[in-house]
């Protein structure tokens, strides 16, 4: 294939635009925050499960404390009634029975209050555990929200950049002959498409061409489209080619 050196050089601009368009597309579809956001989603789900378990434990302990408080109140009320009855009792036998029951109730109340204190401590511990887990969850949520917002902004920026680069590419390729552009497109499917030959090296695959290949390129007409023997891209000759 033959094409003017000027059109061949324009292919370098097309290749650069294609590279930048591909970068913008990767940034659009896979923002740098994506991996961390995915990780945070899993962390948050686990933290929610742990919070649910801790909340359930706290609620159970609170229920136990409520029951104990009710039991203590009932014992206090019963002991008060017995004390009132003892105050007006005239029968020694009845008075003795009331005294015995009051002593038993006093012991029962003391035992319940000891248990109540223990359960109150467990409630405090459970409340602290829930609060700590809520703080962890809030931190994870805040980081996830911030990263998501940044990712959306980056995606929007990459989308805008990709659109601008695509418009630039359309303007650049408009002056390239259709056969040459088609050949570039075909080669770009498996290589850089087009690359500069600089000091005997293909900038598409970084291969230093053998002397025989360089001699063939050196002797080729300026308008002959030559290829890299390694990657197959169109080699564009410039003043830096070392020929």
Task: Please give the domain boundaries of the chain with CATH numbers for all domains.
Answer: 5-26+174-237 (no CATH), 30-155 (1.10.287.1490)
pLDDT of residue 239: 87
Strand runs (DSSP E) across 144-238, as ranges? Answer: 194-198, 201-202, 226-227, 234-237
Q: How confident is the model at residue 235 (pLDDT cuts 50, 70, 90)?
A: very high
What the block records as the tokens of 215 is 């001699």
Task: Give just the sign of the alpha carbon dihedral 214, 216, 221, 225.
Answer: negative
Q: How far apart are CA 16 and CA 11, in angstroms?
A: 8
Q: How confident is the model at residue 243 (pLDDT cuts 50, 70, 90)?
A: low
Mean pLDDT of the chain: 95
Quick check: 66 pLDDT over 80? yes
Q: How far apart are CA 168 and CA 17, in angstroms?
A: 8
Q: How far apart are CA 111 and CA 102, in angstroms?
A: 14
> Could you read off the pLDDT of 80-105 as tens digits, one per residue?
998 888 888 878 888 888 889 999 99
pLDDT of residue 192: 94
**Residues 33-50, mean pLDDT to the nearest whole number:** 98
Q: How confident is the model at residue 138 (pLDDT cuts 50, 70, 90)?
A: very high
* Residue 143: strand, helix, or coil: helix
Strand runs (DSSP E) across the chain, as ranges? Answer: 194-198, 201-202, 226-227, 234-237
> Could you read off the pLDDT of 115-130 as tens digits, one per residue?
999 999 999 999 999 9
> Could you read off the pLDDT of 144-163 as tens digits, one per residue?
999 999 999 999 999 999 99
Name the residue among 214, 198, 205, 208 with its Cα closest to residue 232.
205
Strand runs (DSSP E) across 32-153, as ranges? Answer: none
Quote the pTM value: 0.73
């Amino acid at each position: 294939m033959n094409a003017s050196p000027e059109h061949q050089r324009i292919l370098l601009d097309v290749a650069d635009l294609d590279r930048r368009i591909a970068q913008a597309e990767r940034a659009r579809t896979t923002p740098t925050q994506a991996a961390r956001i995915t990780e945070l989603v899993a962390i948050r789900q686990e933290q929610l499960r742990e919070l649910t378990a801790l909340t359930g434990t706290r609620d159970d302990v609170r229920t136990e404390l409520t029951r104990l408080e009710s039991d203590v109140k009932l014992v206090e009320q019963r002991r008060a009634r017995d004390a009132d009855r003892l105050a007006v009792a005239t029968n020694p036998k009845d008075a003795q029975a009331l005294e015995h029951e009051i002593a038993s109730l006093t012991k029962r109340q003391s035992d319940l209050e000891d248990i109540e204190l223990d359960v109150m401590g467990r409630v405090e511990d459970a409340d602290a555990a829930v609060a700590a887990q809520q703080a962890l969850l809030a931190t994870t949520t805040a980081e996830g929200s911030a990263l998501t917002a940044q990712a959306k902004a980056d995606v929007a920026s990459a989308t805008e950049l990709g659109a601008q680069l695509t418009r630039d590419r359309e303007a650049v390729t408009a002056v390239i002959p259709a056969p040459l552009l088609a050949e570039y497109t075909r080669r770009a499917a498996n290589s850089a498409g087009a690359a500069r030959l600089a000091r005997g090296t293909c900038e598409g695959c970084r291969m230093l061409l053998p002397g025989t290949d360089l001699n063939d390129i050196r002797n080729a007409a300026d308008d002959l489209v030559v290829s890299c023997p390694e990657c197959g891209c169109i080699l564009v000759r410039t003043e830096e080619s070392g020929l």
